[in-house]
């Protein structure tokens, strides 16, 4: 589906300027793996360009996270209240970019477990197989296990489908869907912005309340601030717990808390 009212050519131009400016550092702000600190010369994902903190970097990104279809998708799939977790640009480098099959959150294990996140890709280029368009395994959001438990990492999957869609389209998916970015064979550009929404009860990758400039925060409406979890009344993120979120005890106690609250 091509989204009207979003200035994709402008966004594309700004993205290119940011890529030029940030180069290999792009995406470092949310080098998202707990406990890992990016080192000088270390690329966040060696086979792809990433950019993060887009809201801070240009006004053209302001309208992207409130695209109604994205919010409808979140409302439909995430039963609890949700908030923006991060918005990230990904572009495979020419000739490379293949990812292993994966899901972007802890997989659901039981049919009654809630869906915790929704991924929405706004395509800045046409997507097709040869330029490394995203591929998915239809129906895998109901498998209740991650791909590596079926032995799938980098190899082809018999049921894989390459998303073919024109620039300006949105791909919206349950975070439990098995998917991956592919090799950019023909070296034609293939960029998207991933608008990642999560249940408000799990970690927000970018702590917008602290990271957005005061000027920017003052310019957002109450509804936008709610979606960013950046109103005065929204809870502070405990930085110690966030940094240690992969710690066994932190994970266990979070899980227990959610269970106790029936979430
Ligand atoms: O670039 C793509 O097609 C997919 C990227 C992705 O799934 C990820 O980085 O988690
Ligand atoms: Fe992913």
Q: How far apart are CA 62 and CA 141, in angstroms?
A: 30
Q: Is residue 252 part of a domain?
A: no
Q: Model's pTM, two decimal places? A: 0.91
Residue 113 confidence (pLDDT): 96
Q: Is residue 115 part of a domain?
A: yes
Say if ligand 1 is within 6 A of residue 90 CB. yes
pLDDT exceeding 90 applies to what percent of the chain?
Answer: 78
User: Is residue 25's pLDDT more than 90?
Assistant: no
Q: Is residue 3 part of a domain?
A: no
50 phi and psi angles, rounded to 5 deg: -125, 155
The total domain count for the chain is 1
Residue 259 confidence (pLDDT): 66
Q: Is residue 263 part of a domain?
A: no
Q: How many CB atoms lie within 10 A of CB 253?
A: 12
What is the whole-number distance in angstroms between the Cα of residue 219 and the centre of ligand 2?
A: 31
| Confidence tier at 80 by pLDDT (50, 70, 90) | very high
177-186, 205-214, 221-230: range with lowest mean pLDDT: 205-214
The arithmetic mean of pLDDT across residues 178-186, rounded, is: 98
Q: Give the range with max mean pLDDT: 9-23, 30-44, 248-262.
A: 9-23
Residue 34 confidence (pLDDT): 46
Q: Is residue 190 part of a domain?
A: yes
Say if ligand 1 is within 6 A of residue 52 CB. no
Distances (CA, A) of 248 to 125, 137, 241: 41, 31, 12
Q: Which atom of ligand 1 is nearest to the CA of 179?
A: 7
Chain-wide mean pLDDT for the chain? 91
Domain of residue 198, residue span: 8-237
Query: DSSP letter at 41?
Result: T
Q: Is residue 157 part of a domain?
A: yes
| Confidence tier at 165 by pLDDT (50, 70, 90) | very high
Residue 98 confidence (pLDDT): 98
Residue 29 confidence (pLDDT): 74
User: Is residue 2's pLDDT more than 60?
Assistant: no
User: Is residue 30's pLDDT more than 80?
Assistant: no
Q: What SS3 state is found at 31? A: coil
Say if ligand 1 is within 6 A of residue 181 CB. yes
Distances (CA, A) of 177 to 82, 193, 223, 236: 19, 18, 29, 30
What is the whole-number distance in angstroms between the Cα of residue 216 and the centre of ligand 1?
A: 28
| Confidence tier at 56 by pLDDT (50, 70, 90) | very high
Q: Is residue 1 part of a domain?
A: no
| Confidence tier at 194 by pLDDT (50, 70, 90) | very high
| 237 vs 42, more confident | 237
CATH number at residue 75: 2.60.120.620
Say if ligand 1 is within 6 A of residue 107 CB. no
Report residue 34 CA to chain centroid gap: 16
The arithmetic mean of pLDDT across residues 34-43, rounded, is: 59
Distances (CA, A) of 113 to 81, 137, 143: 15, 20, 13
Q: Give the chain's end-to-end CA distance (angstroms, integer).
A: 32
pLDDT exceeding 70 applies to what percent of the chain?
Answer: 89
* E runs forming strands in the chain: 48-51, 82-92, 117-123, 135-136, 161-162, 170-174, 179-180, 192-199
Q: Is residue 21 part of a domain?
A: yes
């Amino acid at each position: 589906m091509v989204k009207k009212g979003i200035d994709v050519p402008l966004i594309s131009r700004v993205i290119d300027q940011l890529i030029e400016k940030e180069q290999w550092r792009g995406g470092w702000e949310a080098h998202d793996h707990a406990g890992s600190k990016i080192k000088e010369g270390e690329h966040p994902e060696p086979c792809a360009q990433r950019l993060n903190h887009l809201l801070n970097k240009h006004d053209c990104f302001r309208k992207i996270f409130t695209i109604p279809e994205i919010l409808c998708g979140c409302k439909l799939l995430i039963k609890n209240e949700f908030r923006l977790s991060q918005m990230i640009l990904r572009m495979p480098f020419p000739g490379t970019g293949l990812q292993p099959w994966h899901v972007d959150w802890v997989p659901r294990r039981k049919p009654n477990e809630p869906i915790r996140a929704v991924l929405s890709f706004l395509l800045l280029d046409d997507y097709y197989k040869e330029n490394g368009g995203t591929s998915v395994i239809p129906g895998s959001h109901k498998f209740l296990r991650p791909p590596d438990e079926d032995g799938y990492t980098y190899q082809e999957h018999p049921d894989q489908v390459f998303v073919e869609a024109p620039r300006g389209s949105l791909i919206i998916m349950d975070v439990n869907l098995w998917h991956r970015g592919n090799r950019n064979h023909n070296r034609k550009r293939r960029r998207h912005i991933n608008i990642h929404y999560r249940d408000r009860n799990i970690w927000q990758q970018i702590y917008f309340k602290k990271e957005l400039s005061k000027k920017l925060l003052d310019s957002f409406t109450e509804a936008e601030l709610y979606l960013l979890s950046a109103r005065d009344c929204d809870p502070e993120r405990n930085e110690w717990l966030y940094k240690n979120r992969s710690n066994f005890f932190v994970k266990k106690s979070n899980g227990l808390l959610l269970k106790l609250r029936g979430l």
